[in-house]
Amino acid sequence: MFRDEHADPGALRGTTIAILGYGLLGRPLALNLRDTLEARVLVGSDDEPSSRQARDDGFHVTTLAEAAAEADVALVLVPDEVQPAVLARIAPRLRARTLLVFASGYALANGLVVPATDLDVGLFAPRMGGDAIRERFLAGRGYLSYVGVEQDVTGTAWTRLLAIAAGAGSLRQGALEMSAREEAVLDLYVEQACGPWLGAAILSAFHVGVEAGLSPLGLLLEMYLSGEMSETFSQMARDGFLSSSRAHGYAAAFGGMTRTFAIDREGMAAHMREVLTEIENGGFARALQDEFEAGYPCRAFIEQVIGEDDLLSRTEAAFRAM
Amino acid sequence: MPVRPHAQRPEFLGGGGDEVSALMGRVIERLDGRLDADQRRQLAAAMPAILWEFPDTGARVQLVATPAALCCVSAGDTPSLVVRMPLGTLHDAAFGRCSLAASFLAGRITVRGMSPTRLREFILLVDPLLESFREAAREHSSSAAPAPDVS
C-alpha cells in the first residue's frame, strides 16, 4: 500500500499539470491538486458548461488539445467511451516525456488507445465518487485508489504518479498497485455482475411487498432511505463482511442465512460468469464504443426507465417532501 | 404511467395458447413489414431467435429473424433471447394502459440473454412490436366476440 510517506510532491514543483475534462472527477482532482502542489494546474475542456465551471473556479481553461500541448503531466478525465476520440485529437500535441495519467483502465485495457512510445503512462484510479474526493480532502481524510505504471520511458513515471496521487489526497488513506487491465475488468465486473443483482433485489422486494400490502415508504426506509443499509455497508468495510452480521442480532442472522441457502446461487454465478466473459473478451467495450459512435441510441430508453414515474420514485419524493 | 398491479389476460382471447400463438404470428408478420432491410439484418445478426413466453396463457412463440424476413415458429432451436412477460402486460402496453418501463421495474418483464451487445437491436423492436400488436389485436377482436376493451 502506497501512503503519503512514499510520495514526493516536490517532484512536480514548477511543472504544468493539465486536467483534461472538468466533470465528476476532473473538478475535485483539479481543486485538490491546485491546493497541494507547487505546480501550475490548468484545465482543458471542449465542453462549454464545464469550461465555464472551471473558469468560475479560477482555473486557466483552454481546449483539450492546447492543454495537452502544455502538459508535463496530463490527466485524462473524460468519460471512458470518449477517450479514444479525445486521445486521437490530443496525441499529436503531447510532448515527449509527458506523463499521461488515466483515471480508468478501460481504454488502455481494451486497446482503444495506444499511447506513443515516448510518453510515460500511468493509472491513478480513485475508488471514490467525485464529491466525496473533495469533501474528504477538505476534511483532511484520504480515499483509496489504484495506481500503476504502464509505460516508463523517463524513469520518473512512478515518482510523478505517486506525487499526483498524494497531491490529489488519496495517499492519506492509501493506494494499491494495479494494472490498467485488472482495474478495468474489476470495475466493470462489479458494476455489471453485482450491481444489477442488488438493484433487482431492491426492486423486487419493493414490488412484492407493496403487492402484499406493506407500506411503500416503510419498505424503502428498511432498504435504504433510513441510511441503515449504508451504515451496514460501512460496518462490513470496518468489521468484516461476515462478522458484521453479528451487529444485527440473532434473528437477522438466523433468517438471513437460512434464506440465502435457498437462493439459486448456481444460476446467479452462471450469469456473473457470462458478464465477466463479455468484459474480458472485449465484447462490452465494443458495444459501448458502438453506442458512442452511433450517438448513444440506447440513451433515451435508459433515461426513460430511470425517469419512470414509478411508485418507488414517487414514494421517495414524498419522503423528501416531509 | 403506473403499472397495473395485475394486468389481465386480454378478454378477447378465449382460446388459450393456440389462439395466442396465432395472434403472435400475425403480430410478427406486421412487425416484418415495419422493419427495413438494415434493421432486419441487424436483428438477424444480434439475436436470430427470440422466444416469447406468456406465463398467463401458457403460450410460447419464437420469432426467427433472417436478413430476408421475420417469421414465427413454435418454440424450437435454442433462442438468443427469452422474453418472459404476461400477455396482459403486452396488451396493456400496446394500448397505452401501462408503461413497459414500469412493468420492467416491477419485475413483470424479464429478458434472459440480454446483454449490452444486444440492447440496441432489442430497443429497435419495441415500438414496431407494440404497433403491430395493436393492429393484430384489433383485427383479431373484430373477427371474434366479445370486442376488446381498448379504451
Interface probe, candidates A301, A302, A312, A316, chain B, greatest B C-beta count within 10 A: A301
What digits encode the pLDDT tens for the residues B44-76?
998 889 999 999 888 888 998 888 888 887 766
Angle value at C-alpha A271, between A270 and A272, nearest 5 degrees: 90
Integer Cα distance of A101 and A120 in angstroms: 8
Integer Cα distance of A31 and A36 in angstroms: 9
> A203 and B115: CB-CB below 8 Å?
no
The pairing of strands A73-76 and A16-20 is parallel
Walk me through the domains of chain B, giving residue ranges and CATH numbers: 17-140 (3.30.1050.10)
CB A169 within 8 A of CB A137: yes
Residue B77 predicted with pLDDT over 80:
no
A81, A68, A26, A22: which is closest to A49 by C-alpha?
A: A22
Partners of A310 on chain B (C-beta within 8 Å) are 2-3, 101-102, 105-106
B91, B103, B98, B113: which is closest to B47 by C-alpha?
A: B113
Using CB atoms, which residue from A274, A290, A298 is nearest to B123? A298
Q: From residue A100, how far is each of A171, B26, B38, B96 by CA, in Å? A: 19, 57, 41, 52
Please report the pLDDT score of residue B6 as a whole number: 53
Please report the pLDDT score of residue B128 as a whole number: 93
> B105 and A310: CB-CB below 8 Å?
yes
Residue B13 predicted with pLDDT over 70:
no
Residue B148 predicted with pLDDT over 70:
no
Integer Cα distance of A135 and A14 in angstroms: 27
Confidence of residue B144 (pLDDT cuts 50, 70, 90): low
Confidence of residue B3 (pLDDT cuts 50, 70, 90): very low
Mean pLDDT value across chain B: 83
Confidence of residue B14 (pLDDT cuts 50, 70, 90): low
Integer Cα distance of B126 and A208 in angstroms: 26
| CATH no. for A4-178 | 3.40.50.720
Q: Angle, to 10 degrees, between the axis of helix A283-293 and the axis of helix B119-142?
A: 70
> A311 and B2: CB-CB below 8 Å?
yes
Please report the pLDDT score of residue B75 as a whole number: 66
Partners of A311 on chain B (C-beta within 8 Å) are 2
Residue B2 predicted with pLDDT over 50:
no
Please report the pLDDT score of residue B141 as a whole number: 79
What b/e string do you get for A242-269 counting C-beta neighbours within 10 Å, with b at 16 or more? eebbeeeeeeeeeeeeeeeeeeeeeeee
Please report the pLDDT score of residue B147 as a whole number: 45
Q: Is A124 exposed, middle or buried (0-12, 13-18, 19+ CB in 10 A)?
A: buried
Partners of B99 on chain A (C-beta within 8 Å) are 308
Partners of B123 on chain A (C-beta within 8 Å) are 297-298, 301
Q: Count Cβ atoms below 10 Å from residue B33 Cβ, excluding itself.
A: 11
Please report the pLDDT score of residue B57 as a whole number: 87
In chain A, where are the structural domains located?
4-178, 183-321
ipTM: 0.77
| Segments of chain A with pLDDT less than 70 | none
Q: Name the one residue in this structure whose C-alpha cell is 465555464.
A: A52
DSSP A159: H
pTM: 0.86
What digits encode the pLDDT tens for the residues A187-208?
999 999 999 999 999 999 999 9
Confidence of residue B151 (pLDDT cuts 50, 70, 90): very low
